[in-house]
């Protein structure tokens, strides 16, 4: 039998006989048909699309049985290392850009609303509340950084009482939850004042690697990719009637921005000037920082209406 390249196949790299193509297509159709009685139409839509794309992928790369085994072993290792503190599947989603694509689909641009970015695995519920002007460091090491800004809606109205959660790594690139001693540091929440303004002390963000001692780290090494993230500080901002925003600010001039962020989280609109302040220069709230240098940044946050999503 003559072999030919089947033009219906997605980007085929090998010749496949018409008989073989028919066998492969028949299998796809059988699997699709198995979802015909799914009561939930959305579940049916998602599963059918998943099957189409997965079979298309297997056929396009002509997946070997050895490669299939490697994939199963990889996913098994992701499961084994995952617990209530370590989520390897989210890391996998992050480094494949799947997290950012999901965020893009669900946070459509709307009239100047601040852009969203990846949530990451280090948010913790019940972080301490700080007053306006308070310090999120809680003993975490790093250069002090004064952050201030406003929260408004897309018509420019201030949003009083917006809840702002902030969290970040210390100067050695570790979040509090990555230490074994149960410390709570480098995270807090606060609320905007009557004019929708906020201000607090944090730490000047520094670049750090995502956890790369597991299967996702091995994958990055195998494809010659760095596990580094660009320096950033996380925000989650919520208020009644407005779309909750999960985002970061990135540090303008951070060399890692040019090298790349391993989870594709950087958006130009989130790159923020952090102005360096010499030791002994006066602070906005007269805090005495002794001989330490510090930095300051402004981040004005615009929330879309809650009704704006997909
Ligand atoms: C983070 O920024 O905290 C993060 C995001 C994605 C993966 C790992 C860490
Ligand atoms: Fe982070």
Residue nearest to atom 5 of ligand 1 (CA): 120
Residues 24-39 have pLDDT tens digits of 999 999 999 999 999 9
Q: Is the pTM of this model over 0.75?
A: yes
Which comes out higher in pLDDT, residue 29 or 87? 29
CA distance 7 to 9: 5
In this structure, which ligand is nearest to the CA of 94?
1
Residues 153-180 have pLDDT tens digits of 999 999 999 999 999 999 999 999 999 9
Which band of pLDDT confidence, cut at 50, 70 and 90, is reported for residue 1?
very low
CA distance 228 to 221: 12
Q: Which CATH class is domain 88-303?
A: mainly beta
Q: Where along the chain do its domains lie?
A: 18-63, 88-303
Beta-sheet strands, E only, within 177-298: 187-191, 197-203, 208-209, 228-229, 232-238, 245-251, 271-272, 275-277, 294-298
Residues 236-273 have pLDDT tens digits of 999 999 999 999 999 999 999 999 999 999 999 999 99
Provide residues with CB under 6 Å of ligand 1: 91, 94, 118, 120-122, 210, 229, 263
Name the 3-class secondary structure at 140.
coil
Q: What is the distance in A from the centroid of ligand 1 to the CA of 133?
A: 26
Residues 137-150 have pLDDT tens digits of 999 999 999 999 99
Task: Compute the residue count for the chain.
Answer: 310
């Amino acid at each position: 039998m003559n072999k030919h390249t089947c033009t219906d196949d997605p980007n085929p790299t090998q010749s496949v006989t018409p008989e073989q193509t028919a066998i492969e297509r028949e299998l796809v159709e059988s699997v699709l048909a198995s979802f015909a009685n799914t009561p939930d139409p959305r579940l049916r839509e998602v599963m059918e699309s998943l099957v189409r794309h997965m079979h298309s992928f297997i056929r396009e790369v002509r997946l070997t049985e050895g490669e299939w085994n490697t994939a199963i072993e990889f996913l098994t290792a992701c499961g084994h290392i995952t617990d209530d503190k370590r989520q390897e599947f989210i890391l996998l989603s992050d480094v494949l850009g799947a997290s950012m694509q999901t965020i893009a689909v669900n946070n459509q641009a709307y009239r100047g609303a601040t852009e969203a970015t990846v949530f990451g695995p280090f948010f913790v519920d019940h972080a301490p509340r700080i007053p306006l002007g308070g310090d999120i460091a809680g003993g975490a090491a790093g250069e002090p950084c004064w952050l201030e800004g406003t929260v408004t809606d897309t018509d420019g109205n201030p949003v009083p009482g917006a809840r702002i959660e902030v969290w970040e790594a210390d100067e050695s690139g570790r979040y509090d939850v990555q230490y074994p001693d149960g410390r709570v540091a480098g995270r807090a929440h606060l609320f905007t004042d009557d004019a929708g303004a906020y201000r607090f002390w944090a730490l000047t963000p520094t670049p750090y690697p995502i956890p790369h001692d597991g299967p996702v780290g091995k994958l990055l090494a195998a494809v010659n990719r760095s596990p580094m993230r660009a320096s950033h500080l996380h925000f989650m901002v919520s208020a009644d009637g407005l779309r909750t925003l999960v985002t970061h600010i990135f540090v303008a001039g951070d060399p890692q921005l040019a090298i790349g962020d391993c989870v594709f989280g950087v958006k130009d609109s989130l790159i923020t000037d952090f102005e360096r302040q010499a030791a002994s220069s006066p602070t906005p709230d007269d805090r005495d920082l002794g001989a330490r240098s510090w930095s300051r940044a402004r981040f004005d946050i615009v929330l879309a209406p809650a009704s704006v999503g997909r």
